[in-house]
Structure 1
Amino acid sequence: MLSFVTTAVLVRVAGPAEAGQVFFAQSLATVWFLVWDPRMEDAMQHFVPAAQRGGPGRGTRLYHRLLRVDVATGAVATVVGVAVAIAVAASGWLPDEQGTFLVLAVVAAGTATPSGSASAGYALADRLSRLGRIRVAMALAGCLGTLLALLAAGPSGYLAAGAVSGLAATVLLTVDACRHMRRACGVPRGGVDGEADREGDGGDDTRLPAGLVPFVMKSSVTASVAVAAENGVSLLAGLLGGPTLVTYLKVVAAPGRLLASVVNPVSAQLHPRLARARAGGRRAAVMRDALRSSAVTSAVGGAGVVVAVPLSGPVLGLVYGPAYAALATPAVVLMAAAALRGTVVWGKVLPSALGRPGVRLAFVTAEGLGLLGVLVVAVRSWSGASAVTAAFAWGSLCLVVFSTAGWFAALRSLVRAMPPPRGPAEPSRDPSTGDSPP
């Protein structure tokens, strides 16, 4: 929520054109890391509990191994990305100030790459409430630092402060998550980085769990496509319509993103519940949790839209400036789309919790391509940033209607495809492999 405050101040201080350059640079940096970030968090929540059943500390060992891969990949991608950004800026392809924005945006995005894996550690250790408190404190500190840097040094200070606060947050979350993982799952003999404990069942926990690499690839691509859909819109808007259109789209999407920030934490709470229900073959529990979350989030989203209808114009004018009050209608339309998407918030985690990450990949790919197509049609069919923004908003709402209907249809199919509960006489699967039925 506090990120909207800093965005509003940036638009006020820098104006729509320069703020659009900042958003464009951030979108480019995000697209760069979409390729390089392995996004281990879904794999951690799926495979670490199975590894833990093989003995004390084995889940901790696997978590640390995956975390190290995430950190190392992010560090390499950041160094290479900065080098590429400097080369692009030096070549003269971008204005000098835009090149500076791009370098800082790459650094800021790179510092945040391991944060998802750190958050998964809190979920595995059943410490999500602590994660929430830490994030609130870090958001307050980061917001204050970013505002001071923005007022003192303009957009460059805004991006530099984001890099510093992102690095501090990542280090803090990673260290704390590892500590709680050791407390919850134990430390294997020889320490987390020592020789694997082979005593007892004769297992070999130096091997990666069976199926982990394909699972990581599917979940990573899914997460990348989901992020690319949002940032690809800003990137394409900058290429086709210029920085002012980028700013307009950012402004009208703000109410919907605010609503999503309220609803999305539900998926983090659902993920471990759904995974445990799947492991026990409890189809009714999966269906019940999904539908209950839909009832709650639909009520929250509906109330938000009702409140936004009369207030969006005055609020946009107050926050961003009087000129932006005219964007009230597309802002409400995109908020309605966010509310509708929130009714299937379980779709973010249900496929991976059930061992079917490819299902979400299909959905986010279709919706992402649809959003880009809607933007292209809007730019080519209407003139002026305001008209294009309104057309994009209505097209996005229509797209989300079809996507939501598809998710409810997929829910029934996914639950019916779950494996039945194991009988008491059925031999258990080898816990050291972390394998799971399709």
Structure 2
Amino acid sequence: MSKNKLRHMRTFGALSLASQVEAALSFVTTAALVRLAGAADAGQVLFAQAVAVVWFLLWDPRLEDAQQRFVPSEKMHGPGRGTQLYYRLVRLDFVAGVLATVVGVGAAMATAGLGWISTELLWLMVPAVLGAGVATPAGSASAGFALADQLSRMGRTRLVLAPLNCAVTLAALASFGPVAYLAATVVTGLISTIVLTVGACQRVREACGPPAAEPVPMPPGLVPFLVKTSATGSVSVASESGVSLLAGVFGGPALVTYLKVAASMSRFFASLISPVAAQLYPRLAEAGALAHRRAVWRDALRSSALTGGIGALAVAVTIPVSALLLRLVYGAEYTALSTAAVVLLAAAALRGSVIWGKVLPPALGFPGVRLVFLLSEGACQLSLVVFVTQQWARAQDMALGFAWSSFCLTMVSTGCWFLVLRILVTMMPEAPTARSSSGAPREKSASAT
């Protein structure tokens, strides 16, 4: 096995293990919250967190895609230019997070002062906003490790932080209740952000050199690219958090909890395959730059075969044990959600079979494609939440109806992504050709393959 393949396997292993540990511990903390606080109070906490996430969708610039695309080119234009651009974008990320946090806390307090929300909900909203605020630079930190080709180091760091954060959060929940649970997420989130951001800045400095002394202007094309990728990231998160938000508004806190419980297995699966997208991005970007259509096709279809097979296996294994798992983790009253949990897992497996859809459009220089796609899919998904709350009276029935509706929507979107793949590859310019020793033309190969 080549050194390059060994390095890719180590990176995938570190990222995958970190993601799995984080997902498992998130699973544990959510289960503890549901068991200790009950469905209604837990739903209030999850609703507050969803509101905070939606608030930051309007403020978080989500710079990681722009950093990964423009910092390498700036590095080629002069020593230290890439580092200076990265540092500049990191500072912008921090400023945006601080501003959004201050305004968000003020808005929550003003809303309570006007009597639009209760004092109890305000005590949940404030730490929820603070917790979301301290996490805003996380994307820039991940981009820094990726730029320095140190994703495995980031995975190991996250692997150390995750159990410590979980222990602090569980201790706060068990000792002082839901408000302390949210306050603990603020402290642990801040520590994680500082550790990862400082580490990322150090790795970028080592890879790109000390920042340039003279001011470096923003690269041409960065702002339009940033607008599209930021909007895409916001829409992606909005589709997930918006479900909890609308579920709380139209179906009540219990529905928020039921949807969270039913989606726990699908979230765990998504964390398992998420490192595939992180590793595909640079490969697809290089293949796109070299106009190597065959490499793009191969990487996309191979990843579909890998993640699709893992998804099918996960669904097959989960079907007979889903009720038992829910009873062991959340309690006997949640076993009625076993069918909804399996259906949502199947939807996640379908979505995972086109995991390259997360990175293919921006890697090939078409970030607007994914934005349009996610806007359409997100609008449909949020409409489904409202629809099921109007069709059924019980929260359990609403959750099951939403699961089946989401599965049907995912079937359509998966087929559309393969169509998008074909269109984008067709739009790529032809790769330059070279003559083989026999005189026949052959396609130039990409170094990423």
Q: TM-score normalized by structure 2? A: 0.90
- Of 310, 313, 323 in structure 2, the residue corresponding to residue 303 of structure 1 is 313
Deviation at 1:423, TM superposition (A): 8.5
Query: What do residues 270-320 of structure 1 show as CA deviations (whole Å, max 9, x unaligned)?
Result: 111111221222221111111111111011111111111011101101111
Q: Which residue of 2 aligns with 1:148?
A: 171
- Of 138, 155, 163 in structure 1, the residue corresponding to residue 186 of structure 2 is 163
Query: What do residues 114-156 of structure 1 show as CA deviations (whole Å, max 9, x unaligned)?
Result: 0001100000100010111111111111111100011011101
Distance 1:418 1:151, change over 3 A: same
What does residue range 189-208 of structure 1 map to in structure 2 within 5 Å? 189-190=212-213, 195-196=214-215, 206-208=216-218
Query: What do residues 358-391 of structure 1 show as CA deviations (whole Å, max 9, x unaligned)?
Result: 1111111111111111112211111210111111
What does residue range 221-300 of structure 1 map to in structure 2 within 5 Å? 221-300=231-310
Distance across 1 between alignment mates of 2:66 and 2:30? 33
Structure 1 position 45 matched with structure 2 position 68: yes
- Of 117, 129, 137 in structure 1, the residue corresponding to residue 160 of structure 2 is 137
SS of alignment partner, residue 383 of structure 1: coil
SS of alignment partner, residue 116 of structure 1: helix
SS of alignment partner, residue 264 of structure 1: helix
- Of 121, 132, 137 in structure 2, the residue corresponding to residue 109 of structure 1 is 132
Distance across 2 between alignment mates of 1:82 and 1:376? 28
Deviation at 1:422, TM superposition (A): 6.3
- Of 208, 213, 223 in structure 1, the residue corresponding to residue 223 of structure 2 is 213
Deviation at 1:228, TM superposition (A): 0.5
Distance across 1 between alignment mates of 2:76 and 2:360? 22
Query: What do residues 163-188 of structure 1 show as CA deviations (whole Å, max 9, x unaligned)?
Result: 11111111111110000001111124
Structure 1 position 61 matched with structure 2 position 84: yes
Distance across 2 between alignment mates of 1:416 and 1:266? 24
Q: Which runs of 5+ in 1 are unaligned?
A: 197-205, 425-438
Q: Which residue of 1 aligns with 2:408?
A: 398
Distance 1:321 1:208, change over 3 A: same
Q: Which residue of 1 aligns with 2:352?
A: 342
Q: Which runs of 5+ in 2 are unaligned?
A: 1-22, 435-449
Deviation at 1:55, TM superposition (A): 2.1
SS of alignment partner, residue 93 of structure 1: coil
Distance across 1 between alignment mates of 2:433 and 2:299? 24
Q: Are the aligned partners of 1:123 and 1:272 in contact in 2 as well (CA < 8 Å)?
A: no
Q: Which residue of 2 aligns with 1:372?
A: 382
Deviation at 1:89, TM superposition (A): 2.3
Which moves more between the two structures, 282-291 or 5-14? 282-291
Distance across 2 between alignment mates of 1:385 and 1:398? 20
SS of alignment partner, residue 175 of structure 2: helix
SS of alignment partner, residue 348 of structure 2: helix
Query: What do residues 207-242 of structure 1 show as CA deviations (whole Å, max 9, x unaligned)?
Result: 211111111111111110110011111110111010
Distance 1:402 1:214, change over 3 A: same
Distance across 2 between alignment mates of 1:283 and 1:137? 40
Q: TM-score normalized by structure 1? A: 0.92
The one-letter code matched in structure 2 to 1:143 is C
Deviation at 1:42, TM superposition (A): 0.5
Deviation at 1:419, TM superposition (A): 3.1
The one-letter code matched in structure 2 to 1:302 is A
Q: Which residue of 2 aligns with 1:199?
A: none
Deviation at 1:4, TM superposition (A): 1.0
- Of 333, 357, 367 in structure 1, the residue corresponding to residue 343 of structure 2 is 333
- What root-mean-square deviation, in Å, do the aligned CA atoms of Structure 1 and Structure 2 show? 1.2
Structure 1 position 33 matched with structure 2 position 18: no
SS of alignment partner, residue 94 of structure 1: coil
The one-letter code matched in structure 1 to 2:122 is G
Structure 1 position 385 matched with structure 2 position 395: yes
The one-letter code matched in structure 2 to 1:161 is A
Q: Are the aligned partners of 1:36 and 1:77 in contact in 2 as well (CA < 8 Å)?
A: yes
- Of 25, 34, 52 in structure 2, the residue corresponding to residue 11 of structure 1 is 34
SS of alignment partner, residue 368 of structure 2: helix
- Of 361, 365, 387 in structure 2, the residue corresponding to residue 355 of structure 1 is 365
Distance across 2 between alignment mates of 1:332 and 1:116? 30
SS of alignment partner, residue 53 of structure 1: helix
